[in-house]
Amino acid sequence: MKASAFSYARATSVGNALELLVAHGDKAKVLSGGQSLMPAMNLRLICPELIVDIGEISELRGIAVSGGVLTIGALTRHVDLANSSEIAAHAPLLTEAIAHVAHPAIRNRGTLGGSLAHADPASELPACMVALNATVVVRGQTGERRIAAGDFFKGIYETDLSAHELLVAVELPVVKKNAVHFFHEFARRHGDYAIAGLAAQAIVEGEAFGDLRLVFFAVGDRPVLAKAAARLVKTTITPELLTQASPALAQELDPQDDQQASSNMRRHLAKVLLARCVGALLGRPDLAAGGTA
């Protein structure tokens, strides 16, 4: 289908974009890379009256490291994340995850800020932001707000961002020396939305986890930071302990049924991901052995 008629404004600066957003409120939509917005408009799931194109605001693009913080501009494209040596060095989880985000032609256009503001619960980058303890920086006419990624995602396509604000950047703490990560998703076709996925960031101390952030996606209305991970921290992990953590994890999740998978199948896949992740991060194939899909 084709998008319904709308007006178009090419924002010249963040201030200009905010003026347009304040004037038009929720009748306006921000166009960044357009790789989620345009499909939604072509399918007439949304019919905004005004498109505010922020694509030319170059100050929103770029990756910088300073004082232990990695700052990524909202307009930074997926392909730039994939090719960035700073991201590979300081947030390697993101480098690994980005290869699973859609297909090359889409990664050439899609942006980090666009993906986060869109907040599809099956998409990879929101989960990575929660796993990496990111801070989402949003700007309004009265100033900036900094929101922990864990508080930013509110539901399916819902975030803490108001219609008068623009997501301008994310800030990630540079990963520690003994940090390890894991990323995996199940999808019908490489690059499709996940049926179930896991982005994990951990600290390994000796043979145990000092910290373990397991963020599941496509198994709830937003990225789910698993509380069950607490059972696996600062302790020797046995297959029995992992077996106990598994139903606890399944209880936390609220997956949907759809044409791709039943909620039970998604719960099962999440448990498989848990076992594979713990086994991989600790270099313990005996633990991952429980994780056959």
Partner 1 sequence: MTAAIPISLEVNGERVEADVLPRLNLADFLREQLHLTGTHVGCEHGVCGACTVRLNGVIVRSCLMLAVQTHGASVETIEGLSDSGEVADLQAAFRDRNALQCGYCTPGMLMAAQDLLKQQVEPDRERIREHLSGNYCRCTGYQAIVDAVEITARARMGRVL
Q: Which is nearer to partner 1, 106 or 116 (CB)?
A: 106
Q: Would you tell me which residues interact with partner 1 (CB under 8 A)?
A: 1-10, 31, 34-35, 38-39, 42-43, 50-51, 53, 55, 79, 102-106, 108-109, 189-191
Beta-bridge mates of residue 181? 201
Q: Which is nearer to partner 1, 106 or 280 (CB)?
A: 106
CB neighbours (10 Å) of residue 97? Answer: 26
CB of 150 to partner 1, least distance (A): 29
Query: Closest Cα partner for 24 from 52, 2, 3?
Result: 52
Q: Which is nearer to partner 1, 105 or 148 (CB)?
A: 105
Buried b (16+ CB within 10 A) or exposed e, 270-292: bbbbbbbbbbbbbeeeebbebbe
Query: Token digits for 168?
Result: 């301008």
Q: Which is nearer to partner 1, 108 or 133 (CB)?
A: 108
CB of 135 to partner 1, least distance (A): 29
CB of 54 to partner 1, least distance (A): 11
CB of 219 to partner 1, least distance (A): 22
E runs forming strands in the chain: 7-10, 28-31, 50-53, 63-66, 69-73, 135-140, 143-148, 153-155, 158-159, 166-173, 179-186, 196-205, 208-217, 224-225
Query: Do the Cβ atoms of 275 and 246 come closer than 8 Å?
Result: yes
CB of 44 to partner 1, least distance (A): 11
Q: Which is nearer to partner 1, 8 or 206 (CB)?
A: 8
